């Protein structure tokens, strides 16, 4: 529909900015369910998220960010975040932990668990 705010996922890829699930007043579980709802049967879900190591620098930065209005709703570590994705019924295909200046970034791709993983042939 022209002029609507409807988002169409024609490519079958849905991404979520999970570092702040609460932006739209949704729980992490509800936000992930909505992403799964619009994911095509063979679609790829890309869900990056900031995670914790538990350092003092992280704690100080988080407190400063809260003073400025940014709140962390789910302070997961890498393994907890991956478990959350799996427990939702998704099959994780790729995980990467990217060290950031303050918080590491968990980069996760997943598909519906009842759909086989995409096999990419190797180049000769």
Distance of CA 111 to the CA centre of its chain: 12
- Has residue 85 got a pLDDT over 90? yes
Q: What's the pTM?
A: 0.68
Q: For residue 44, which of 97, 112, 96, 106 has the smallest C-alpha distance?
A: 112
Q: What is the pLDDT of residue 92?
A: 93
How high does pLDDT run on average in the chain? 75
Q: Which tens digit of pLDDT belongs to each residue from 34-56?
A: 888 888 888 899 988 888 887 88
Distances (CA, A) of 27 to 20, 30, 73, 115: 10, 5, 9, 26
- Tokens 């930065």 sit at which residue? 61
Question: CA–CA separation, 39 vs 29, rounded Å?
Answer: 15
């Amino acid at each position: 529909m022209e002029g609507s705010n409807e988002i169409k996922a024609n490519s079958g890829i849905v991404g979520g900015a999970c570092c702040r699930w609460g932006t739209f007043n949704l729980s992490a579980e509800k936000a992930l369910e909505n992403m799964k709802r619009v994911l095509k049967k063979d679609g790829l879900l890309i869900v990056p998220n900031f995670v914790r190591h538990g350092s003092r620098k992280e704690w100080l930065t988080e407190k400063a960010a809260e003073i400025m209005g940014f709140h962390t709703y789910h302070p997961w570590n890498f393994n907890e975040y991956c478990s959350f994705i799996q427990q939702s019924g998704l099959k994780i295909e790729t995980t990467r932990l990217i060290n950031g200046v303050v918080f590491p970034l968990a980069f996760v791709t997943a598909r519906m668990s009842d759909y086989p993983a995409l096999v990419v042939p190797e180049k000769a």
